[in-house]
């Protein structure tokens, strides 16, 4: 999580030279494979990973946090100028719950760089904007939220046999839960354990 002073000493040292370049880079773990992009142009290799430059088509929003210190933090990453097909495919495949990171990268004149993780969390549901007059205004915005946001959500999963099978077909891990709730528990007793009925 970001602290009051989020930059490492290596980043500060390059900034202190007075002659440096900065870019934002992101790692987004989509279902079809990870996406690595940065706000500059051309390819950028960071720690052996190649990030594709999106230039003016990429945008990093401000980090959002309310006055309540326990409130979730989030940051929005946007990409515009996309073909409608790409937007449709992203909408179908989704990204909610998959990991995402926002990096701050700084370079000196000799090409040396330092990297700090500004934000790390999970992607939320993407939002889409259509221009209606070509792809110039088409836009995808992907929020990344921290763990506090996940904890604050009301869960939709239940520890029941039916709910578990809906998510994992054929897995009967919770088959005895309903039956167990009907049985008395004899702590420290030598009585036999209950016999469960397994129904496929």
pLDDT of residue 188: 65
pTM of the model: 0.61
Q: Which of 9-18, 114-123, 144-153, 162-171 has the lowest mean pLDDT?
A: 144-153
* Residues 102-122, mean pLDDT to the nearest whole number: 90
Sorted by where each begins, the domain ranges of the chain are 9-152, 155-200
Give the single-character DSSP code of 196.
Answer: P
pLDDT of residue 59: 77
Give the single-character DSSP code of 115.
Answer: E
Residue with tokens 């326990």: 70
Total Cβ atoms within 10 A of residue 76: 17
Angle made by CA atoms 149, 28, 125, in degrees to the nearest 5: 45
| Closest listed residue to residue 147, CA positions, set 115, 124, 117, 125 | 124
**Does residue 54 or residue 137 have the better pLDDT?**
54
| Tokens read off for 39 | 């706000």
pLDDT of residue 15: 93
pLDDT of residue 49: 92
pLDDT of residue 200: 63
- How confident is residue 1, by pLDDT bands cut at 50, 70 and 90? very low
> CA-CA distance, 80 to 54, in Å (whole number)?
9
pLDDT averaged over the chain? 76
pLDDT of residue 34: 85
> CA-CA distance, 76 to 144, in Å (whole number)?
6
- How confident is residue 114, by pLDDT bands cut at 50, 70 and 90? very high
| Closest listed residue to residue 100, CA positions, set 30, 1, 23 | 30
Q: What percent of the chain has pLDDT over 90?
A: 14
């Amino acid at each position: 999580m970001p602290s009051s002073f989020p930059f490492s000493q290596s980043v500060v040292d390059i900034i202190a030279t007075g002659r440096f370049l900065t870019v934002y880079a992101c790692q987004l773990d989509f279902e079809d494979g990870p996406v690595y992009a940065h706000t500059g142009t051309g390819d950028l290799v960071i720690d052996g990973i190649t990030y594709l430059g999106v230039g003016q088509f990429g945008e990093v929003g401000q980090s959002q946090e309310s006055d309540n210190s326990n409130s979730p933090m989030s940051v929005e990453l946007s990409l515009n100028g996309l073909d409608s097909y790409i937007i449709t495919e992203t909408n179908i495949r989704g990204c909610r719950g998959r990991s995402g990171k926002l990096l701050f990268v700084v370079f000196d004149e000799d090409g040396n760089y330092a990297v700090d993780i500004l934000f790390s969390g999970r992607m939320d549901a993407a939002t889409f904007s259509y221009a209606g007059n070509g792809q110039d205004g088409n836009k995808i915005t992907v929020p990344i939220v921290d763990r506090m946001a996940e904890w604050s959500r009301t869960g939709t999963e239940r520890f029941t046999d039916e709910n578990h099978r809906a998510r994992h077909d054929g897995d009967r891990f919770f088959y005895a839960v309903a039956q167990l709730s009907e049985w008395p528990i004899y702590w420290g007793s030598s009585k036999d354990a209950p016999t469960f009925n397994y129904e496929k």
